[in-house]
């Protein structure tokens, strides 16, 4: 059972490859864009939580 899992992991490692420059740059751009969008969403939620309680008083 453990040896089968180990063989699976070794096969996966054999199939991996180093990405070329274009693939790396594209992946980096997508990751940065997603982090930016999630940060904006969090900032807007923070603003809503900060402004709405003061507006209701």
Mean pLDDT of 17-43: 97
pTM of the model: 0.64
And the tokens for 14?
Answer: 């054999």
* CA–CA gap between residue 17 and residue 31 (Å, rounded): 20
Q: What is the pLDDT of residue 16?
A: 92
Q: What is the pLDDT of residue 51?
A: 82
Parse the chain into domains and list their residue ranges.
20-57
């Amino acid at each position: 059972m453990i040896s089968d899992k180990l063989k699976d992991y070794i096969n996966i490692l054999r199939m991996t490859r180093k990405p070329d420059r274009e693939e790396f740059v594209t992946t980096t751009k997508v990751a940065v864009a997603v982090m930016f969008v999630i940060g904006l969403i969090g900032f807007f939620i923070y603003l809503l939580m900060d402004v709405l309680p003061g507006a209701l008083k």
